[in-house]
């Protein structure tokens, strides 16, 4: 299981790459492996505001539809349109070309509630 040290993680298996007041979000290697082959990604709408822990995207794999949650509150400022034609990028490069959306943070203190790599690893290894 690949787990970059420089990212933050949610208990719902999203990763967050913070860059100032903006963050990039995707799902973790553990999550993509548990989902299996992803065949569709329902992306959020640019400009929408989302609350932490609210559903903001969906993925389908093996006829199973799963919610993707916003790990932090903010405004969606970009989505990965490449996933519309190539949803398998989430499986192939979950931390790279398989990113899902960018968000402008409305409350940076929420980042403190996210996990570091070690804590996330402990979470998934504990089942």
Partner 1 sequence: MGAPEWRLIDDVETTDLAVDHMRTDVEMLERVAAGDHPALRLYTWPMPTLSLGRFQDAADVDEVACARLGVRITRRPTGGAALLHGADLTYSLAMRLEAGADNGVQPVYDRIAGALIVGLERLGVSAAIARHDRAPGAVCFASQQGADLRVGDRKVCGSAQVRRQGAVLQHGSILLRRLDIDECDLVTAACDRGTLRRATVTLEELGAPIDPRSVASAIVAGFSDWLGASFGPSTLVVQGSDAHR
Contact footprint for partner 1 (CB under 8 A): 33-36, 39-40, 42, 55, 58, 60-67, 126-127
The 8-9 sheet, strands edge to edge: 8-9, 14-19, 22-27, 101-105, 74-79, 49-50
Whats the size of the chain, residue-wise? 127
**What is the C-alpha to C-alpha distance for residues 70 and 1, in angstroms, rounded to an integer?**
22
Shortest Å distance, C-beta 21 to partner 1:
29
Nearer to partner 1, 42 or 97 (CB): 42
Judge whether 59 and 83 are in contact, CB under 8 Å: no
Nearer to partner 1, 21 or 54 (CB): 54
Nearer to partner 1, 62 or 109 (CB): 62
Shortest Å distance, C-beta 109 to partner 1:
25
Shortest Å distance, C-beta 56 to partner 1:
13
Q: Where are the beta strands (DSSP E) in 1-127?
A: 8-9, 14-19, 22-27, 38-42, 49-50, 55-61, 64-69, 74-79, 101-105
Shortest Å distance, C-beta 74 to partner 1:
21
């Amino acid at each position: 299981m690949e787990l970059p040290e420089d990212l933050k993680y949610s208990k719902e298996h999203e990763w967050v790459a913070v860059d100032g007041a903006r963050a990039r979000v995707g799902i973790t290697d553990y999550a993509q492996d548990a989902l299996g082959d992803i065949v569709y990604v329902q992306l959020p709408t640019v400009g929408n505001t989302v609350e932490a822990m609210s559903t903001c995207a969906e993925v389908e794999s093996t006829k199973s539809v799963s919610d993707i949650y916003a790990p932090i509150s903010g405004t969606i400022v970009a989505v990965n349109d490449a996933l519309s034609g190539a949803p398998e990028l989430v499986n192939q490069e979950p931390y790279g070309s398989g990113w899902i959306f960018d968000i402008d943070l409305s409350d940076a203190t929420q980042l403190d509630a996210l996990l570091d790599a070690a804590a996330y690893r402990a979470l998934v290894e504990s089942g």
